[in-house]
Structure formats: structure tokens, C-alpha cells
Structure 1
Amino acid sequence: MNFLDKNNPAFAELYSVLDSKMKNLLDQGLGTDTKQADPISGEDENKLWESGIFGMKDSKTLQLSVFFYACKLFGLRGRDEHRGLQCDQFEIGEDSEGRFIRFIGRGSKTYHGGLGQMSINNKDIKHYCTPGNDGDFYKRPLPAMPGNSIRYGHQPVGVNTLTKFMKEISQRGSLKGVYSNHSGKRTCATSMYEDGIDG
């Protein structure tokens, strides 16, 4: 039984009263201050590079860098889209416009495929650049060895670890704000907006 079913005559009056009260509370400002993830600004991004949080000095640093740019450049969602990421979803190639890296999406929180989404296209994004491996995209970093500072194991990074990547990046870089994995998607959207790309 749904007490909020406005089409059920038994609960129509209750629905009306609750609806009115919620609108009244919103007018008073209650519920308008929602805590949302901040995007990483260009200034903070530079700070992360300068402080060594991003880079190629070891496996973990490279992994956090790749995670951030997968969010920023391809708009990947926080946990699930990264956890299911496979190396074969990326293609490096060249065409008449130059060299590129291409991301081919699969199912996500907002795209499940099926009959109901036949008119929606899956993510297929190319980024052109200036002058493999198979299986899970994020592997567990291994300690550096002499002559080999970047090493990864065969096991994939766990979903709980992936959930904390953006928080780890912001804490290591001493960034001020509220950062979660959704910050990556917001960074992507903010960058596109600042570059004048329509949504």
C-alpha cells in the first residue's frame, strides 16, 4: 500500500497536505542546502601534479592519475562504472584528424540498454592527442622494485577502494571542499561548460 499515491482516494487528502507542507518548508529554505561533490578546479589539478599526487613515480600515483582523467575526459561515474572497466573499452588509433584515444562505454547507472533505451546511444568518446593489456582496467598496485617503480598485480582493485579514490586524491593534495567520486563527473561537466560546449 502506497500512502503517497495521489490517485488513491483514500490517501488523496494526506497527499495534498504533505505536498503543501513540503512546498512551504522549501519556501523557508529547508532542504535547499544540499551537500554535493565539488569539481576539481584547474588550479587544484595543477596543484595535484606539482605536489606529486599525480604523476608516474609509482603504481599508486599513476593509478590515481588515470582514474582522475578517466572521470574528467570520459565522464565515468564513481564506483560501478570504474569497477566494471575493461582494457578493451579503450582504443588508441589514428584517423584523418590525428591520433586519438577512444572510450567505448557499456552499461551504467543511467544506461542499461534494452527496449526502453533504444533511442539512447551508449558512450563512444574520442579524445585526440598530439605527438595491450587485457582484463580489468584497475589492478592492485605493487611495491616498487629496483629498476621497476610501476608494477601491478593480477587482482583488480576492490569496489570499496575505488569508492575512495577521489577522496584519497583530495586528501593527499590537501584540497579544500567536499570531494567524492562524483567530483570526477562534475569536473568533466564543468570543463565542458567552461570550454563552451553545450550539454
Structure 2
Amino acid sequence: MQDDQALILAYAGGQVAAFEQLYQRHSQRLWRYFFRNTGNAALADDLAQETWFAVVDGAARYQPEAKFSTWAFTLAHHKLVDHWRRHKAHRSLDEEDSEGMRLAETLFANSGFDPERLQDRKDLARALLDALAQLPPEQREAFLLQAEADMSVADIAAATQVSQETAKSRLRYARAKLRQAMEVTA
């Protein structure tokens, strides 16, 4: 199995199958990153698609100085920032969707668990999402980049264009706040 850097370089060299492998490996994580940042499945679809277009457009310029996932999630970060800049008004996770469910509830509503366990999981997910929503945007994004993209502190720093110390602090504060919020819930 080829690593991601070899695949993106192969795609840049004209091997379409290499892109398909990259897409298979990273599409779900990338989509979840957008969905958990926005709470909107359609928007997550659009932002993920824009990011994959940026990957296609930038493949010829890719330099294997960073991991492919770092590069791709940096592109994703820029797409998310651009979206928030275009749409200053943020939706609340307490806002209801067209079916009357809170957006926070929809994140885990289709988990496939038994009904009894589903309610407990939904309550826990609601508490986590509420806690995530309370984090400052920079801390939430750092946490989600690590949780969803499995990025290191150095990768998060590179993706968000801050120092490693700043990225490490954001993660530390995010984890502490989430831990404290979940202890109150338990």
C-alpha cells in the first residue's frame, strides 16, 4: 500500500487511481471535520467538495514537505475560514432543523444503537457538542483537527498558521474545558 505522499505525487503525474485511493482514505474524516464545525450536512458536503477541488487543482504544486493530510486539512481550514468570513452570522447548535431536532442532536442521531442506548449516547453527544460549542473557535478548531484529522500539534500549527506553542495551548485549554464540562455532565 502506497503512502499518501506517494499517491498525491502519482496523481499529479497523471494516475487517476491514486486520487481515488486518497479520496477513499480521507473523505469521511474531512467531511466530519466540516460537519462538526458547522452542524450542517449540506454545507459540510459543499465545503468538502470545494476542498477536494482544491486538492485536484493543487496536486501539481504539492511538495512532500508535510504529510498529505496536513496539506489537505490546511486547505480545509482555509475553506472553512473563507465560509465564516462570507457568512458572519453563525448558526447555534441549539437551533432546530426542518424536522424540529436541535442541530447538536443531529450529529449523532443516526448512530445505529439500540433505542435505550441511543438516548444515553444522544445525551452524551449533546453534552459534548454543547461543550464544543462553548469553546472559542480557535480552540474548537484545534481540537477537531486533532480528533478528526489525527493531526499532530506541529501539523495543527502549520494548518492554522500559528506557532506550535499556540497550537499546543489551544489544545490544552480545549481539552481542559471539555473535560470539565463532561465531568459536570456525568
Give the TM-score range, shorter chain: under 0.3
Higher helix fraction: Structure 1 or Structure 2?
A: 2
Higher strand fraction: Structure 1 or Structure 2?
A: 1
Whose RCO is larger (CA < 8 A, sep 6+)? 1
The TM-score normalised by the length of structure 2 is 0.27
Max Rg structure: 1
